[in-house]
Amino acid sequence: MIKNELKKAVKHTSVYGIGRALNMLPPIVLLPLYLNYLTPADYGIQAIVTITMDIIGVIISLCITGVLSRFYFEYDEQKDRNEVLSTLLISFSILSLPSLLLLSTQSRNLSNYLLGSSELYHYFLIVFSAFWFRNVYAIGCDYLRVKERSIAYVVVSLFFLVIQIGLNVLFIAVYRIGVTGIFLSSLITSALFATLITIPIVVRIGFRFSKQKFIEMAKFSAPLIVSSLSAIVVNSSDRFFVKHFAGLDLTGIYSIAYRLGSSIHTFITASFMQYWLPHRFAIYKQLNAKEIYSRFLIYYLMTVLFFGLLLSCTSRDILLIISKPIFYSGYKIVPIIVLSYVVFGLQYYLNIGILIKKKTKYIAYVDSSIGVINILLNFLLISKYGAYGAAYATLGSFILKILCLNFISQKLYPIHYDYTKIYKLIIATSIIYILSSMISYPDEYYLYIEDFQQHAYALRLIGVQFLVWHSLVVLIFPPLLYLIRFFDENELRYAKQLCLKMKGKLLKASPEQSNP
């Protein structure tokens, strides 16, 4: 049973991972473009405006846009399931549109207070409009996931990626309109795809509003407002503190490092969540549900630590290849952010008891408390240690959060986790990271950065060379797990069967075998 669930998870995670990656690729793929055409201050503006909209969005939407997977499977009849989706679309529109129009009248005041100039108000007008379309598009994508239409999801995501990247290049590299191009690209792409994905769905399911279902969804999501606001505080409030204590330039450099470090969540954790978030409630009905939950946590941790190591060990090389010296210092922060998001991803496994028992108020209690603690940590640490203080405040807050969630969840729905394997993963990760850190750049590196224009190509070659070396060290991770007896007999046997199966397919497809 566990093997079947794992196969299904791997299949859908692989496909959803592609779709998720395509949706989230633009900020990463376009990073070299941003680093060459935008200043650190521009990137700081982009971070402040985006985070502000995230905070406002949680309040005006009542967090109702993210509850489809929870209530879709609450009903067995397709009619009721369609009504859940329709009610969600209607209620979000009613809640958000008047609020956004009202906020637009205050855009100059927001710009003056947050960016230091009322003349930058147009940034807020653009993101207000993009917010509504982006959330409608997200609801449509959620529908594709609960219907397990993973291929359709990937196709939509691919076209979304192509158009958004194309618009960014057009606005930033061709028309040279700076950070405005990022916001305009998001607005146009979100509006286009919200229309294309939602209209066919609405035609199929119709417009039906259920007051009862809306009340149920609102009751479920209401406590999550506090939770989501607290999550934004923990994930993003550090940018406001960095701007206050160090200015927009350091805010931009820190935001670049944060984006690079948090990409472990974007591409690995969040990709798996496309499958896991709705399906974990279906697993609950199985007799061996707790064993499945326990195994999935270990496999998640093993996977995310491997890719987290790869990102942490090569972050300096990546910045050397794609950016300018002004951004190089951000590599020191990346491993801290990576570790933070490895810890952050654990909540999707450690809070399962709270969600199964529908005790979301406890999530609100934990997140609101962590939000307050994070603000205090940001104030104390960023004022003294700058960007490092911001990164460590995030890490400390995430660790405290998952400890609290796990404690409460275990009281409601006890699950036995294999802590021996977790300790072995931590030991192996530490060894690999130390080995990678022992590989240092040549002395020429320090000479080249003093004259970047003259030696830019040579610096990028150094980045490519050491990217290879650091990556090879990380590849020691799986054999090291084998040596410290991380894998049990069943896992080794299953891995051997997979290898033999793959070998058989390769032999069957080889020219020698196909043409005797």
Question: Residue 24 has what pLDDT?
Answer: 63
Q: Nearest 5°: phi and psi at 31? A: -55, -45
- Give mean pLDDT, residues 14-20: 58
The mean of the pLDDT values for the chain is 87
With respect to residue 427, please indicate whether it lies within any of the assigned structural domains: no
With respect to residue 431, please indicate whether it lies within any of the assigned structural domains: no
Question: Residue 326 has what pLDDT?
Answer: 87
- Give mean pLDDT, residues 426-432: 97
Instruction: Identify residue 184 by its one-letter amino acid code.
Output: L
Confidence (pTM) = 0.76
Q: What torsion do the CA atoms of 18, 23, 26, 29 make, to the nearest 10 degrees? A: -10
CA distances from 381 to 155, 245, 384 (A): 44, 11, 5
Question: Residue 206 has what pLDDT?
Answer: 87
List the alpha helices (DSSP H) in 77-175.
Answer: 78-104, 107-115, 122-146, 150-168
CA distances from 424 to 61, 341, 401, 450, 505 (A): 43, 19, 23, 43, 34
Pick from 179, 321, 310, 315: which is nearest to 258 by CA? 315
Tokens 């952050």, located at residue: 344
- Look at 151 and 5; give whichever has higher pLDDT: 151
Q: Exposure string (b/e) for 334-358, b if CB count within 10 Å is 16 or more?
A: bbbbbbbbbbbbbbbbbbbbbbbee
With respect to residue 342, please indicate whether it lies within any of the assigned structural domains: yes
With respect to residue 505, please indicate whether it lies within any of the assigned structural domains: no
Question: Residue 308 has what pLDDT?
Answer: 96
Count of the separate structural domains present in the chain = 1
With respect to residue 358, please indicate whether it lies within any of the assigned structural domains: yes
On whether the CB atoms of residues 47 and 338 are closer than 8 A, the answer is no
Q: How confident is the model at residue 18 (pLDDT cuts 50, 70, 90)?
A: low
Reduced to 3 states (helix: H, G, I; strand: E, B; else coil), residue 285 is: coil
Expressed as residue numbers, the domain containing 404 is 2-417
- Give mean pLDDT, residues 450-472: 92
With respect to residue 379, please indicate whether it lies within any of the assigned structural domains: yes
Lowest mean pLDDT among 279-288, 355-364, 465-474, 475-484: 279-288
Q: Greatest CA separation found in the chain? A: 77
With respect to residue 115, please indicate whether it lies within any of the assigned structural domains: yes
With respect to residue 329, please indicate whether it lies within any of the assigned structural domains: yes
Instruction: Identify residue 361 by its one-letter amino acid code.
Output: K
Has residue 405 got a pLDDT over 90?
yes
Q: Where on the phi/psi map is residue 87: left (φ > 0), alpha (ψ -120 to 50), or beta?
A: alpha
Instruction: Identify residue 222 by its one-letter amino acid code.
Output: A
Tell me the pLDDT tens digit for each residue of 279-333: 777 787 777 888 888 888 998 999 999 999 999 999 999 999 988 888 898 999 9
